[in-house]
Amino acid sequence: MQTMRRRIYTDGTIASSEITPETVFLNRRAFIAASAGSAWPWSAGAAQSATDRADLAYSPDFDSTLEAEKTPVEAVTSYNNFYEFGTDKSDPARHAHAMTTDPWTVSVGGLVEKPGELHLEDLLSGFDLEERIYRFRCVEAWSMVVPWIGFPLSDLLRRFEPKSEGRFVEFKTLYRRSEMRGTRSFGSIIDWPYREGLRLDEAMHPLTLLAVGLYGKTLPNQNGAPLRLVVPWKYGFKSIKSIVEINVTDQQPATSWQTLQSKEYGFYANVNPDVDHPRWSQRFERRLPSSIFKPNRVPTVPFNGYGERVAGLYDGMDLRRFY
């Protein structure tokens, strides 16, 4: 596959008060070439040519009604699971700055007609479709409502043309021991690199995103910079961070948590209050911010509230067995 010349991709900053106007614009070339410390030019008044401009607007089909439930950005960026940087929820925010995200290359292979790799800036510049801000609930042992910025994974996969025999998609996270202190710890519990997978029809669903930003900013390292998966009807560990490799396969891929403890973490990981984790109930989730003195417990909803859109993917399946 032909790759374009390399450009510079660097994180920017922007005031949190500017995160969600009804319609804002993304100058893709300026985003690609943004210098350190500069803001993404998402101002409706910014001077942009028609060829450089893509609408970045809320879509009512993707939970704009969750605006009022939005989790504070401080909680989203300080309370994370990213074991490459440590097992404490605060470790990623403290240590993930050591990860180099520029330059970044993503390879796509396996059962595709056009295997190859793209530098991140070329991957982003290849999309002519309208980008949007998607508000999704995200559930682990806790839950958040996050305004992700990204594009459907299906848009990327179609560029590489999955073959008819492809049935699954495998993902791998960056593994760089020199920058990821958690991978060097004694008795590490995970066989690195971190791996995840989806069925191909799940990967092609329009709710499955590749996210490049949140709250009007490029992704912080602790949240999976520069490219992460978001699958809003599944538990959070399925949304793999800092992706460097994507493969289409005809066999269900081995995933990190299922390999580690299959009785606790299934391949599908659909949010289901009727299937408990062996060590705790799944009937309630803890919505951040939450504390011992001010617990914010809410009932868990099947498929995290997206059942009307995704339940059909599992018609005829016993979701207690395929958890």
Across the chain, mean pLDDT equals: 80
Cis peptide before 226 (omega within 30 of 0): yes
pLDDT 10s digits, 104-116: 999 999 999 999 9
What confidence score (pLDDT) does residue 9 get? 28
Q: What is the mean pLDDT of residues 32-56?
A: 28
Q: Which residue has the higher pLDDT, 33 or 72?
A: 72
Cis peptide before 206 (omega within 30 of 0): no
CA distances from 241 to 14, 54, 64, 194 (A): 22, 25, 24, 9
Q: Which residue has the higher pLDDT, 283 or 19?
A: 283
Kindly tell me if the per-residue pLDDT of 259 is higher than 50: yes
pLDDT 10s digits, 145-173: 998 988 899 999 999 999 999 999 999 99
pTM for this predicted structure? 0.81
Region of poorest pLDDT, from 58-62, 136-140, 254-258, 259-263: 58-62
Q: What is the mean pLDDT of residues 176-197?
A: 88
Gyration radius from the chain CA atoms = 19
Kindly tell me if the per-residue pLDDT of 143 is higher than 50: yes
Q: Determine what percent of the chain is predicted with pLDDT higher than 70.
A: 76
pLDDT 10s digits, 201-225: 999 999 999 999 999 889 999 999 9
Domains present along the chain, CATH in parentheses: 16-314 (3.90.420.10)
CA distances from 144 to 30, 37, 58, 77 (A): 30, 27, 18, 11
What confidence score (pLDDT) does residue 136 get? 86
Which position has the token pair 């950005």? 73
Are the CB atoms for 229 and 150 separated by under 8 Å?
no
Region of poorest pLDDT, from 57-71, 147-161, 297-311: 57-71
DSSP string for residues in 161-195: -B-TT--EEEEEE---TTT-GGGGSTT-SS-SSPE
Residue type, 88: D
Kindly tell me if the per-residue pLDDT of 6 is higher than 50: no
What confidence score (pLDDT) does residue 66 get? 77
Are the CB atoms for 96 and 184 separated by under 8 Å?
no
Region of poorest pLDDT, from 129-143, 214-228, 265-279: 129-143
What confidence score (pLDDT) does residue 293 get? 87
The band of 54, judged by pLDDT with boundaries at 50, 70 and 90, is very low
